[in-house]
Amino acid sequence: MSHQNPQVESPTPASGNDAIQPKAPDFIETPEVPPLSSDREPLPHWLYLICGLALFLTGSSFTGLGVFGEGLLDQGPGGPSLAGSAKTTTAPAATPMDIGKKLYGGNCANCHQGSGDGEPGSYPPLGGSEYVLGSKERLAAIMLAGVSGPITVKGATFGTQVMPGWAGVFTDEKMADIMTYLRASWGNTAGPVKADEVAAARTKFTPHLAAPFSEADLLGIAPHGPDPSDKKP
C-alpha cells in the first residue's frame, strides 16, 4: 500500500504555448540550419584528366593505345595483339628466275631432272647445251613446238623420246621466265629472255607449231653459237 506525501505537489504540466517559451527552464535554443542547396558542385578538372589517362593506358576506350601506348602493357606469351600493333610486311616480288624455277620444277624436271643433267639416250642435258646457250629464237621454237627425232647435244645423241611443245600451255611471259632460268642455271651464264622475244618467235613459227621440230629444222633457224643479243657492247 503506497502513501502519498501531502507536502509534495506535482508540477502543473505546461500548456502547448508555455512549453516553447524561451524563458522556460527546460528550453534549448536550436540554431537555424540553412536549407540544403539543390545545385551540385562540378567535379574538378584534374579528376577528369586522371580518369581519362587511366582509360587510355588500359586501352578500354582508346584505340590509340595500339599506336601511342604500344609496349606499355605486357601482353605475355600468347597474349592478344594490341590494336594497330601488327606490323605489315610486303613480300618481295618474285623474279623471272624464281618463276622460271618453279615452272621448270613442275613441268620439265621429270625428264631433264632437277640437276639439268637429263637422262642418257633419252633426255639431253641443259647445262652447257648448245640449244640453251645459243639463239634465243631457236630455243623459243623448241619450247613452243617441241623436238622429235634424234638430236645431238654436247657430242651425245638423244632421240628415243619426243619433247612436246608448250605453246598452248604457257603465256609468252611464263615461257620467257622458263628460258631465263634455263640460260642462267647449272653453270649457264647466258642472258635473260623477254616476253616480246617469245611473242615474236610465236608469230614467226605459228605455221610450224602443229608438229615438233627436227634437228635439221632447228639448225636451219640458227647455227650453233651464242646469241648476238648476249654480247655486251
Q: Report the range out of 20-29, 53-62, 85-94 with the highest average pLDDT.
A: 85-94
Q: Tell me, what's the pLDDT at 160? A: 66
pLDDT of residue 6: 52
Return d(Cα 112, Cα 133) in angstroms, integer: 16
Q: Is residue 217 part of a domain?
A: yes
Is 42's pLDDT higher than 80?
no
What is the CATH number for 209? 1.10.760.10
Residue 114: give the domain boundaries.
Answer: 96-222
Could you tell me if residue 232 is inside a domain?
A: no
pLDDT of 231 reads: 72
Percent of the chain with pLDDT strictly greater than 90? 55
Domain-located, residue 157: yes
| CB distance 160 to 121 below 8 Å | yes
Q: What is the pLDDT of residues 170-203, one digit of tens each?
A: 999 999 999 999 999 999 999 999 999 999 999 9
List of residues 6+ apart from 72 with CB closer than 8 A? 57, 65
pLDDT band per the 50, 70, 90 thresholds, residue 40? low
182 domain residue, yes or no: yes
User: How many angstroms separate the CA atoms of 197 and 73, rounded?
Assistant: 58
pLDDT at residue 14 tops 80:
no
CA distance 65 to 49: 16
The answer to whether residue 1 scores a pLDDT higher than 60 is: no
User: What is the average pLDDT across 98-102?
Assistant: 97
Comparing CA positions, the residue from 106, 119, 104 lying closest to residue 188 is 104
Q: Which residue has the higher pLDDT, 132 or 66?
A: 132
**pLDDT of residue 43 exceeding 80:** no
pLDDT in tens, 206-233: 999 999 999 999 999 999 999 988 875 4
Average pLDDT rounded to a whole number, residues 49-55: 73
**185 within some domain:** yes
Q: Is the pLDDT of residue 163 over 70?
A: yes
Q: State yes or no: pLDDT of 84 exceeds 60.
A: no
Query: Into how many domains does the chain fold?
Result: 1
Instruction: Tell whether 23 is covered by a domain.
Output: no
| 212 found inside a domain | yes
User: By the 8 A CB rule, do 203 and 137 touch?
Assistant: no
**pLDDT, position 67:** 45
* 192: in domain: yes
- Residue 35, pLDDT > 70, answer no
Predicted local distance difference test score (pLDDT) of residue 184: 97
